[in-house]
Amino acid sequence: MRETAYAKLNLALHVRGREPDGYHRIETAFAFAEHGDTLTVAEDEGIRLRVTGPFASGLAGQDNIVLTAAHALRAKCGVQAGAVLTLDKHLPVASGIGGGSADAAAALRLLCRWWGLDLPESSLAELARGLGADVPACLYSRTARGEGRGDRLEFADYGVGGAPLLLVNPGIFLATRSVFEGWDGRDGGPLGDPLAGRNDLEGPARGLAPAIGEVLEAFHALGTAALVRMSGSGATCFALFRDEADRDSAGRLFARRHPAWWQLASRLR
């Protein structure tokens, strides 16, 4: 069996405040690409994980959230069977597009099918919430508004389904916590139309990684992008285009001028 861990985008991300426990209260609009990492599963006595793909080395020596998700689901449902999961890692690590959260969510979806579990959607969502703030949104991988830590969801249609999409990362990994710590504490107002919104983490992320500004400026300079924004806490940026020809032209241009930049051409789900 196979499952895609769809890349997550924040069409907008408004930071509204910092809670006493140190976490931040946000309002965000989630969207998802058609592509991402891939998880496959096979029989095994225990729970094991193999990681392959171009970004496998970025997870070496880390406690992987995929294993955490698998063990949590197995314990919750009293499953005796095991599984060996193979994660083909194509999304950059710590890049603002939900790589780890999307992988964990894909593991939950995949193992529910593999083990034949009939777990109520509400119970699965609660399990996802315990794994991380973005995991519930990634579990559904649908356009949605997120509040609180981003884990209180309301599904929404932002009219962007099928939009040609180009994601670009300048080869920088950013720790989410460091970016949030750089937020200036000013509430810029609530989230309305996400396409007219903003990402309040762009400033602190650019302070840590100025190359983010280079990517955003390169997107704007094209003159063909309908929307340009940084996703999450960075450093991945994205642009939506009116047609695939413009998207592919941008990808070729960036490949020539910035061969070290990672990029992924896709569409929004």
- Catalytic center residues: 8, 134
State how far the Cα of 32 lies from the Cα of 47, in Å rounded to an integer: 28
Torsion angle of the four alpha carbons 227, 6, 162, 192, in this order, in degrees rounded to the nearest 10: -50
Closest of 144, 152, 145 to residue 126, by C-alpha:
152
Helix-, strand-, coil-residue percentages of the chain, each rounded to 5: 35, 30, 35
How far is Cα 75 from Cα 72, in angstroms, rounded to an integer?
5
Beta strands in the chain (DSSP E): 2-18, 24-42, 47-52, 83-88, 144-148, 152-155, 164-169, 225-230, 237-241, 262-267
Identify any residues that bridge with 48 across adjacent strands, giving them in sequence order.
84
Does residue 195 sit in helix, strand or coil? helix
Determine the 3-state secondary structure of 23 from DSSP.
coil
Q: Which amino acid is at 251?
A: G
